[in-house]
């Protein structure tokens, strides 16, 4: 490729370290699309003869069919997907193939290909996240009334509903989708035509190639065009945040599936057994999702470290931009699919959830709130009174709503029989009618709104 300048070929180790075709072959669809848009523009601008442009386009279509059928051949001597394709094009149509690279460089070519790939990857992730949201909505709707313990510090805090708990993850995924949407919008500029770093002297039409490839506009600075990888970092940062949310959900399933909790029975399809202990049902799919989050975060960190010290414009370090993005995308897609499948098929043991909600003094705050509302007591004083009531219930080994009224009155004379109406877990959750609260009516209202957002 650069034989005019170099008298000798590269050393074998240089040949191996320099080649990116083992991984960038994944860009072949984007590379073919970019080349077809480029040659069409060259013909329209009179830079390449129409007959040559037609031959190039037909050759590219044939190569695409070959790649689709047989995969991309890996030839380290040809370095990357761009040269593999151009070499095959030359075999098919002869020297005319060399006209394809007029007014472009591999620098703007790969920047364009990679943006196209990331844009497609975001669309795939968005579709997966919508599927996860739909699964969460369906199970939340089924369990809008199912009472479970709400936790802080992994200690029983207040009763909530399972539907409300699942909808918390819906909100996380909603934010994830917005981050991916923002990343896609920023990536929607086309670098093609920036050439190596300074633009080109040929009378090209960059707006035409941008439009042909579905970009909103061409990039506005040729130096930035070939050296920018913010779009890849945006993708990785959004993927990292999404993987953190998936990991938290996976962790809940892992905890809930353990015998001390027993809140869920994971389906066989997402569990494994033990080679020695026949009774085991291991939450391996959830554990792998939790593990993948660390790897995705590592991919994001790797690209940050690659880019942090690079001067303008292109440096060969940037060849290492694609493996972390490809790896993160594959891991994220697996994680989304696994968690969606688990949500859809898990058995929630709502009887067990309810039993634990009733056993942990989770309605203590309702007692304090009642004292404020009915007795006009400052909340801090009500908090102390309630603390003594909890201590009495704990000493007696009974829940709050089974403490005798005489015991409660001995703690504070302002308590009367009306207190029992607020001390059940059902009354507690039903009372949480503030916007975004756990009351079943509020949960169902948010589910209906979310279904409308998703177009269901």
Catalytic residues: 153, 274
Q: Are strands 155-161 and 217-218 parallel, antiparallel or unpaired?
A: unpaired
In angstroms, the CA 184 to CA 190 distance is 12
Please, where are the H alpha helices in 45-150? 50-70, 81-93, 106-142
What's the Rg (C-alpha) of the chain?
30
Q: Which helix (H) or strand (E) holds 432?
A: none
Tokens of 128: 């997966």
Contact at 8 Å (CB) between 160 and 354? no
In angstroms, the CA 211 to CA 44 distance is 14
In angstroms, the CA 436 to CA 223 distance is 48
Scan for tokens 């369990």, then name that residue. 143
In angstroms, the CA 148 to CA 403 distance is 22
In angstroms, the CA 216 to CA 369 distance is 55
In angstroms, the CA 444 to CA 137 distance is 10
Length of the chain: 456
Contact at 8 Å (CB) between 419 and 408? yes
Compute the C-alpha angle 351/267/260, nearest 5°: 45
Cβ count within 10 A of residue 295: 16
Contact at 8 Å (CB) between 271 and 283? yes
Please, where are the H alpha helices in 213-349? 222-227, 230-257, 284-307, 322-345
In angstroms, the CA 404 to CA 420 distance is 10
Residue 310 DSSP one-character state: P
């Amino acid at each position: 490729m650069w034989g005019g300048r170099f008298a000798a070929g590269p050393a074998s180790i240089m040949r191996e370290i320099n080649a990116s075709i083992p991984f960038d072959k994944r860009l072949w669809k984007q590379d073919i699309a970019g080349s077809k848009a480029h040659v069409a523009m060259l013909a329209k601008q009179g830079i390449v003869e129409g007959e040559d442009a037609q031959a190039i386009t037909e050759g590219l279509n044939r190569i695409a069919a070959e790649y689709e059928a047989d995969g991309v051949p890996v030839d380290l001597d040809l370095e990357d997907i761009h040269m593999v394709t151009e070499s095959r094009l030359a075999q098919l149509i002869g020297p005319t193939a060399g006209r394809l690279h007029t007014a472009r460089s591999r620098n703007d070519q790969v920047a364009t290909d990679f943006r196209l790939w990331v844009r497609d990857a975001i669309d795939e992730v968005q579709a997966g996240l919508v599927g996860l949201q739909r699964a969460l909505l369906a199970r939340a709707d089924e369990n809008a009334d199912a009472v479970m313990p709400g936790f802080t510090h992994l200690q029983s805090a207040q009763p909530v509903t399972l539907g409300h708990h699942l909808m918390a993850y819906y909100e996380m995924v909603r934010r994830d989708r917005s981050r991916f949407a923002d990343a896609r919008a920023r990536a929607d500029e086309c670098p093609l035509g920036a050439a190596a770093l300074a633009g080109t002297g040929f009378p090209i039409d960059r707006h035409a190639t941008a439009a042909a490839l579905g970009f909103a506009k061409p990039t506005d600075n040729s130096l930035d065009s070939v050296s920018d990888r913010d779009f890849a970092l945006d993708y990785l940062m959004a993927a990292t945040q999404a993987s953190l949310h998936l990991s938290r959900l996976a962790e809940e399933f892992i905890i809930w599936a353990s015998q001390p909790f027993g809140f869920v029975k994971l389906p066989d399809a997402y569990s494994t057994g033990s080679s020695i202990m026949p009774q085991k049902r291991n939450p391996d799919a959830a554990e792998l999702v939790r593990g993948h989050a660390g790897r995705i975060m590592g991919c994001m960190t790797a690209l940050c470290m690659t880019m942090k010290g690079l001067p303008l414009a292109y440096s060969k370090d940037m060849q290492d931009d694609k493996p972390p993005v490809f790896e993160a995308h594959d891991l994220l897609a697996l994680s989304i699919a696994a968690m969606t499948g688990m949500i859809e098929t898990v058995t929630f043991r709502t009887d067990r959830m309810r039993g634990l909600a009733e056993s942990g003094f989770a309605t203590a705050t309702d007692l304090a709130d009642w004292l404020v509302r009915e007795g006009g007591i400052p909340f801090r004083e009500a908090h102390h009174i309630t603390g003594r009531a909890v201590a009495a219930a704990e000493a007696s080994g009974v829940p709050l709503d089974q403490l005798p009224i005489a015991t409660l009155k001995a703690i504070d004379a302002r308590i009367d029989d009306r207190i029992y109406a607020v001390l059940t877990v059902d009354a507690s959750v039903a009372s949480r009618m503030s916007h975004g609260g756990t009351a079943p009516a509020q949960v169902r209202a948010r589910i209906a709104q979310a279904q409308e957002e998703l177009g269901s």
